Amino acid sequence: MDSAEYMLFETALGVCGIAWSEAGLTRVQLPDRDAAATAARLAKSARRAGGAVPAHATDAAELLADYANGEDVDFSGVFLDFAGIATFETAVYYALRKVGRGETVTYGELAGLAGSPGAAQAVGTAMARNPWPVVVPCHRVLAAGNKPGGFSAPGGLVTKAKLLAMEGVHLDGGEPMLPGLFD
């Protein structure tokens, strides 16, 4: 992935980042505690862009900023670079991209949609490895019984709940988790 470059950009959620290659996005980084931490996470797998940012990366950044503003965004046209992604995970990510805003699916249901019924635990591993959170909406995947499950992006389950709440899905039945948390 030495050819991947990255950039940071402001959103309503904080500073996000994306990394890309000629084929498409190689990574999406949700906001960390500050811009430096977000950049540090991206720098582990990419290098800062030195030249012009390609149109596909600029378009993806704009869509992510729109999403952070609460807009209903369709990420299906965002090009993703699947180099180095296992076949099973690729199938899971393609299936997950079909789960729309405001919808959720369990790990087991997603395993079935990806053609591997019974592989819920492997789906969980794929979600933890998802290099494109929000674009490949791993926040929409829940554990059995519609429990939150896990979320490996910065902020963990609080971030997952916030993203879902932005889409009208409330894991707690709409009760505030903490006063002011999602204001």
Note whether 45 and 105 are same-domain residues: no
Residue from 162, 124, 143, 122 nearest 31 by CA: 162
Note whether 108 and 149 are same-domain residues: yes
Note whether 120 and 51 are same-domain residues: no
pLDDT computed for residue 183 by the predictor: 42
pLDDT computed for residue 78 by the predictor: 97
CATH number assigned to the domain comprising residue 116: 1.10.10.10
Note whether 55 and 111 are same-domain residues: no
| Any domain includes 171 | no
End residue of a domain, out of 35, 68, 101:
68
Instruction: Tell me which of 138, 161, 164, 166 is the catalytic residue.
Output: 138
pLDDT computed for residue 175 by the predictor: 52
pLDDT computed for residue 172 by the predictor: 67
pLDDT computed for residue 182 by the predictor: 46
pLDDT computed for residue 87 by the predictor: 96
| Any domain includes 63 | yes
| Any domain includes 172 | no
Gap between the Cα atoms of 87 and 90, Å rounded: 5
| Any domain includes 117 | yes
Note whether 148 and 96 are same-domain residues: yes
Residue 144 structure tokens: 């059995």
| Any domain includes 76 | no
Residue 135 belongs to what domain range?
Answer: 87-166
Note whether 52 and 93 are same-domain residues: no
pLDDT computed for residue 181 by the predictor: 46
* Tens-digit pLDDT string for the chain (183 aa): 345 789 999 999 999 999 999 899 999 999 998 999 998 888 887 877 767 889 999 999 999 999 999 999 999 999 999 999 999 999 999 999 999 999 999 999 999 999 999 999 999 999 999 999 999 999 999 998 888 888 888 888 888 999 999 999 987 665 544 444 444
pLDDT computed for residue 152 by the predictor: 81
Note whether 91 and 147 are same-domain residues: yes
| Any domain includes 152 | yes
Number of domains comprising the chain: 2
| Any domain includes 75 | no
| Any domain includes 81 | no
Gap between the Cα atoms of 33 and 43, Å rounded: 16
Active-site residue flag, 138: yes
Query: How does DSSP classify residue 177?
Result: S
pLDDT computed for residue 47 by the predictor: 76
Say if residue 112 is exposed, middle or buried (CB neighbours under 10 Å; 0-12, 13-18, 19+): middle
Gap between the Cα atoms of 134 and 132, Å rounded: 6
Indicate the pTM of the whole model. 0.88
Gap between the Cα atoms of 134 and 68, Å rounded: 10
